[in-house]
Homo-oligomer: A and B are copies of this chain.
């Protein structure tokens, strides 16, 4: 008798916010690892905004998940069979295991996690893709300098909280933006932001802009872009000369029907282009998977700070694979507090 496993497949492509019917929970046979592969029992999986992009079939930086395919995502779990010398059963591995209880993966695409170095969930957040995204984007494209002012939204999320904490440690004034008073409190008290503004408290970009301007005491040198929408519209006119905008995402627009010409925004393209020109801005889009060569440097620099508690970690853990779609839909609405993870089994 073959063992069975559960997975969540993409059942349809949403045109706006994903709904439960876009996901199907399925029981299938556990696959057998081929040469150089490992079989992993997935303990924790990551939920991240980029996954919304994989549900569309437009041109993006990665291929879409096919209809009927397992939803993509990073996970961490125990190796239960290995055809690779790099892993033995009992090892803890991180890899792109998908929304599933079990997965077969090429060993060389996986990373061994040392459970003595802290909770293994860190490999999904603060010491994984999101934390690395925040650190890399800030350091490489943000080029932070002491005394400058930085704005980042989703300030209590795994990207925003990394950006804020690293920037603060380098002597920048950090202005976070988050949804609701509780998250704002956490941004300041846990993650050390100088100020955190509740985007729900502002009816429009204009009033948010006034609040950011007051908090900044002038303009903004670095806007770390992970949300787009109203926050971008608020910040853009506040950018100081020679400002930098690393772009790693734009979650507020992900449910907006593919970000085509109809995507809702009061921003005009010419006005944005002009702002880039007249303020000599440097705008850089990036996807962290192009930069894994720098991952050891990131781990070497940030790992000890996580261990020492200088970099704080907040996780939001949903229980059970079957609850992943609901947690993901909540993530896109900002309902999570901290890094969203699913305890698979």
Contacts and interface: CB of A to CB of B under 8 A. Distances in A.
Nearest to A262: B268
A271 B260 contact: yes
Interface stretch (A80-88, A127-135, A249-257): A249-257
A333 to B, nearest CB: 19
A259 interface: yes
Contact of A261 (B61, B250, B266): B266
Contacts of A260: 268, 271
A312 B228 CA distance: 44
A249 B267 CA distance: 19
A290 interface: yes
Contacts of A259: 268, 270-271, 273-274
A248 interface: yes
A25 interface: no
A278 interface: yes
Nearest to A286: B280
A24 interface: no
Contact of A284 (B228, B248, B281, B287): B281
B269 A268 contact: yes
Given A259-B271, A284-B282, A284-B283, A277 B250 contact: yes
Given A260-B268, A280-B61, A232 B285 contact: no
Contact of A270 (B267, B280, B287): B267
Contacts of A228: 270, 273
B261 A274 contact: no
Contacts of A287: 277-278, 280
Contacts of A277: 61, 247-250, 285-287
Contacts of A281: 283-285
A190 interface: no
Interface string A76-108: 000000000000000000000000000000000
B253 A263 contact: no
B265 A247 contact: no
A265 B269 contact: yes
The 4 closest A-B pairs by CB, nearest first: A267-B269, A263-B270, A277-B285, A276-B285
